[in-house]
Structure formats: structure tokens, C-alpha cells
């Protein structure tokens, strides 16, 4: 929903390691009326988003605010639900499913994705099973738990950015690889959409698919920037 601008001045006040944003004399809060208590590095970005508003508020141009209010309204004190969702995605992780129907594609994907499984095995002793069949293989619950334990102490802001990346890419493992700086945001997009991009080179694309991928790339980039900014605090 697009709203009209109803303030004249945007200000940012630093309080220890947090930032409070004011629209005129009124504190900027979440849609549910909660104080944001933003890490200062994030508050600077949110401040700029609101400062750049001309006449109308366009939510799609305010990703840092969107991730922040998601953290406060949808994740804070609900972390157990977020962990359950991440566990479900990990159990069906994108890079755990590979088809052998197309040998050329299979070899390409195997070379691209297998190093990430080797990495989480060597780095965190997490052993996950690759599924080559139509019906999914059930992962060992202890191995899943070991992976999930790597993120269970995230605060609500970090969960907001990370869980969005995982949902966008259908891969907990690739999200983790980004956090540990094994890949950058461009590589994350390319690897997550590797099968689709491979097929495009062979068969071409269409306008609708191009628009969808462009939006996915934009959202991945924004989520990665949000996480990178958090790590600077």
C-alpha cells in the first residue's frame, strides 16, 4: 500500500549502539507500533530510506526498513518458529536434490554444488545425503540439528535477513555459505539458480521469466546487503 508523506523532517538520534529515527517529533515504529531499537548501522540505512521519500511512501524502495520491521513484528519472540521453518527447508535443501536425467546438466551441477556439502562436512561435521531419486531421502535428524545449531543464537535482525535468503534460494546451505563469506551475493544468485540459468543458455528465456529472475536477484542483493551491514555493527 502506497501512503502519502505526512512529515517535514527526518532525524536520527544515536543512543549507545542503537539509532532512533524521528519523523518530525514522532518516533518511527513498526506497523504494529513497536519500537525498532535498530543497530546503529541499520538505523543509518533506514534513516536514508525515509529521508529520500518525496511525496509518497513506496515500500519496495525501503528494503532495510522492511527487514527491520519484519524482525520486530514477525520474528522477535517467535524465533522457534523461524528455526522450524529453516529446518524444513534444510531437509529439502536445493543442493541436496540432483537429477541424472541430463548428463551435461548433472555434471555441471555436481561440480558446482558438491563443494558446499564438503565444506559443511569439514567445517562443521554436518553430513547430509544427496538425493538422486524422485522421492526424497530422509536426512539424519542429528545432522540436521547440527546445522541448525549454527544459527540458533542469531538475533531477530539477523534471522530476518538470513531466513529471507534461505526462502528465496530454497537453500539453508547456500545462505550459510554467504554468511561465512564463501560466496558473495552475485555468486549466491548464480549458484542458487544454476539449473535454470543452464537451461536458458540452451533454450533461451521469456520476458516473464526474466522479470521474475530480476526480482529474485534484487531481493537476494538487498538481503545480503542487510546482513553485511549487520556484521559491521
Higher-pLDDT residue of 3 and 82 is 82
pLDDT band at 2 (very low <50, low <70, confident <90, very high): low
Does residue 210 share a domain with residue 96? yes
Does residue 122 share a domain with residue 54? no
Mean pLDDT, rounded, for 174-187:
98
**Which residue, among 170, 195, 179, 160, has the nearest Cα to 119 in the 3D structure?**
179
Element (H or E) spanning 14, and its range? strand 10-15
Does residue 40 share a domain with residue 60? yes
| Residues 200, 212: Cα–Cα separation, whole Å | 14
Please write the tens of the pLDDT for every residue from 29-47.
999 999 999 999 999 999 9
Does residue 221 share a domain with residue 202? yes
Domain extent at residue 51: 3-75
Residues in the chain: 233
Does residue 163 share a domain with residue 63? no
Does residue 7 share a domain with residue 91? no
Please write the tens of the pLDDT for every residue from 83-134.
999 999 999 999 999 988 899 999 999 999 999 999 999 999 999 999 998 7
DSSP string for the chain: --EE---S-EEEEEETTEEEEEETTEEPB-TTS-B--EEHHHHHHHHHHHHT--SEE-GGG-HHHHHHHHIIIIITT-HHHHHHHHHHHHHT-GGGB---SSHHHHHHHHHHHHHHHHHHHHHH----PPB-SSSPPPPPHHHHHHHHTTTTT--HHHHHHHHHHHHHHT-HHHHHHHHTTSS-HHHHHHHHTHHHHHHHHHH---HHHHHHHHHHHHHHHHHHHHHHHHTT-
Instruction: Indicate the pTM of the whole model.
Output: 0.94
Domain end: 30, 58, 75, which one?
A: 75
Please give the backbone phi and psi of residue 117, each rounded to the nearest 5 degrees, phi first: -70, -40
Does residue 154 share a domain with residue 95? yes
At a CB cut-off of 8 Å and minimum separation 6, what does 74 contact?
160
Does residue 128 share a domain with residue 40? no
Does residue 122 share a domain with residue 9? no
Does residue 86 share a domain with residue 61? no
The per-residue pLDDT for 137 is: 85
Q: What is the maximal distance between C-alpha atoms in the chain?
A: 63
Does residue 83 share a domain with residue 70? no
**Which string of b and e fits 157-182 if b means at least 16 CB within 10 Å?**
bbbbbbbbbbbbbebbbbbbbbbeeb
Does residue 197 share a domain with residue 83? yes
- The percentage of the chain sitting over the pLDDT mark of 90, rounded to a whole number, equals 85
Amino acid at each position: 500500500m502506497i501512503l502519502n508523506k505526512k512529515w517535514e523532517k527526518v532525524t536520527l538520534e544515536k543512543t549507545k549502539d542503537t539509532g532512533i529515527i524521528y519523523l518530525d517529533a514522532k518516533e518511527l515504529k513498526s506497523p504494529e507500533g513497536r519500537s525498532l531499537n535498530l543497530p546503529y548501522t541499520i538505523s543509518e540505512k533506514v534513516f536514508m530510506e525515509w529521508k529520500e521519500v518525496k511525496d509518497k511512501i513506496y515500500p519496495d524502495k525501503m528494503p532495510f526498513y522492511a527487514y527491520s520491521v519484519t524482525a520486530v513484528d514477525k520474528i522477535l519472540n517467535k524465533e522457534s518458529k523461524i528455526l522450524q521453518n529453516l529446518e524444513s527447508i534444510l531437509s529439502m535443501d536445493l543442493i541436496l536434490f540432483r537429477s541424472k536425467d541430463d548428463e551435461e546438466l548433472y555434471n555441471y551441477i555436481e561440480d558446482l554444488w558438491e563443494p558446499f556439502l564438503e565444506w559443511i562436512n569439514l567445517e562443521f561435521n554436518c553430513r547430509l545425503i544427496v538425493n538422486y531419486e524422485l522421492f526424497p531421502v530422509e536426512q539424519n535428524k542429528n545432522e540436521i540439528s547440527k546445522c541448525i545449531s549454527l544459527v540458533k543464537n542469531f538475533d531477530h535482525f539477523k534471522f530476518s535477513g538470513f531466513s529471507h535468503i534461505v526462502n528465496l534460494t530454497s537453500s539453508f546451505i547456500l545462505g550459510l555459505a554467504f554468511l561465512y563469506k564463501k560466496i558473495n551475493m552475485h555468486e549466491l544468485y548464480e549458484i542458487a539458480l544454476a539449473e535454470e540459468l543452464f537451461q536458458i543458455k540452451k533454450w533461451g528465456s521469456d520476458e516473464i521469466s526474466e522479470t521474475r529472475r530480476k526480482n529474485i536477484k534484487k531481493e537476494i542483493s538487498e538481503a545480503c546487503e542487510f546482513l553485511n551491514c549487520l556484521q559491521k555493527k
